[in-house]
Homo-oligomer: A and B are copies of this chain.
Amino acid sequence: MTADQPIGIFDSGLGGLTVAAAVRKLLPNEKIIYLGDTARVPYGNRSPETIRTFAGQDAAFLISKNVKAIVAACNTVSATALTHLQEQFPGLHISGVIAPGADAAAGARRIAVLGTRATINSGAYVQALRERYGNELEIITKQCPLFVPMVEEGILDGPIAREVIRHYLEKIPEPDTILLGCTHYPLLTGAINEHYNGKVRIVDSADAAAADLKKYLEQAGLPAPADSHGSLQLYVSDIASGFREQASRFLGTEVPEPGKVTLTD
């Protein structure tokens, strides 16, 4: 591996662009190659075998682009296929979003993990939190299935966002820390913060995954040179209507022209 190779990030869809945005912000000199498997999104309702197969194909595509490290910016893949990926591609650093998210929750006493049905049912966040903080930490988990379609509709504040957030959060005891266990949820940070009047710390696994990647690159002596121009290349397996609008929302800025790839099914 050399420092001037790009970083690979993949997700089942476009939500992982929140991770790409966090990496761009923290590591502005890096070249990023993002793959969204938009033809087969969502992965959450598929069998573990299928998820592992798809994740392997995603990683193989990024490796063909000569990446120096990969972030699986997808909670489903992180929960189901990460170890498998690391075994399939030894010698390459492949990280996920769950362990960094759990790391970033240090200091919490009562934490609420919000996620999709699949992520919450996987138990992966609870396991990662227990491994780190033992039984002292009080953990509340809450499935919030309407958050993803709401964010994909561009509804990030206003009466619908307020009512939907209240619907999920008024049923759980008030935590001191919220862990956003889904790549779509960082876009709701403002509205969730408003729900709690700013009294609750919100930990975002996108930021945590970017910090984790930075640490690895520094340890491995692989950060891009300070005079290197950062960039983002985007690949997707399907371009649906509204693609550009959605992708820009997750990235927080205009997206470059995407390349279309076929991942063997």
Q: Are A159 and B149 in contact (CB under 8 A)?
A: no
> How far apart are A142's CB and chain B's nearest CB, in angstroms?
13
Stretch in A54-62, A150-158, A248-256 touching the partner: A150-158
Q: Using Cβ atoms and an 8 Å threshold, which residues of chain B touch A159?
A: 163
Q: How far is the CA of A263 from the CA of B148 in the complex (A)?
A: 29
**Is A84's CB within 8 Å of the partner chain B?**
no
Please pick, from B121, B153, B240, the residue contacting A146 in the complex, using a CB distance under 8 A: B153
Q: Are B160 and A152 in contact (CB under 8 A)?
A: no
Please pick, from B45, B146, B155, the residue contacting A167 in the complex, using a CB distance under 8 A: B155
The digit string for A144-181, where 1 denotes a CB below 8 A from any CB of B, is 01101110110100011001100100000000000000
Q: Using Cβ atoms and an 8 Å threshold, which residues of chain B touch A140?
A: none
> Chain copies in the assembly?
2
Contacts A41-B45, A45-B41, A45-B240; is A152 near B163 (CB within 8 Å)?
A: no
List A215-249 residues whose CB lies under 8 Å from chain B.
238, 240-242
Count of interface residues, chain A, beta-carbon cutoff 8 Å: 21
List A37-63 residues whose CB lies under 8 Å from chain B.
41, 45
**Is A65's CB within 8 Å of the partner chain B?**
no
Q: Using Cβ atoms and an 8 Å threshold, which residues of chain B touch A241?
A: 117, 121
Q: Using Cβ atoms and an 8 Å threshold, which residues of chain B touch A152?
A: 145
Most chain B beta-carbon contacts within 10 A, residue among A117, A148, A150: A150
Q: Using Cβ atoms and an 8 Å threshold, which residues of chain B touch A238?
A: 45
Q: How far is the CA of A117 from the CA of B241 in the complex (A)?
A: 9
Q: Are A149 and B145 in contact (CB under 8 A)?
A: yes
Please pick, from B153, B163, B240, the residue contacting A160 in the complex, using a CB distance under 8 A: B163
Q: Using Cβ atoms and an 8 Å threshold, which residues of chain B touch A150?
A: 146
Q: Using Cβ atoms and an 8 Å threshold, which residues of chain B touch A117?
A: 241-242
Please pick, from B146, B160, B242, the residue contacting A149 in the complex, using a CB distance under 8 A: B146
Q: Using Cβ atoms and an 8 Å threshold, which residues of chain B touch A167?
A: 155, 160
- A150's closest neighbor in chain B, by CB? B146
> How far apart are A42's CB and chain B's nearest CB, in angstroms?
9
Q: What residues make up the interface of A, taking CB atoms closer than 8 Å to B? A: 41, 45, 117, 121, 145-146, 148-150, 152-153, 155, 159-160, 163-164, 167, 238, 240-242
Q: Other CB < 8 Å A-B pairs besides A145-B149, A149-B149, A160-B163, 8 of them?
A: A45-B238, A45-B240, A117-B242, A145-B152, A145-B153, A146-B153, A146-B155, A155-B167
A-B contact pairs, 24 of them (CB 8 A): A41-B45, A45-B238, A45-B240, A117-B241, A117-B242, A121-B241, A145-B149, A145-B152, A145-B153, A146-B146, A146-B149, A146-B150, A146-B153, A146-B155, A146-B160, A148-B149, A149-B149, A155-B167, A159-B163, A160-B160, A160-B163, A160-B164, A160-B167, A163-B163
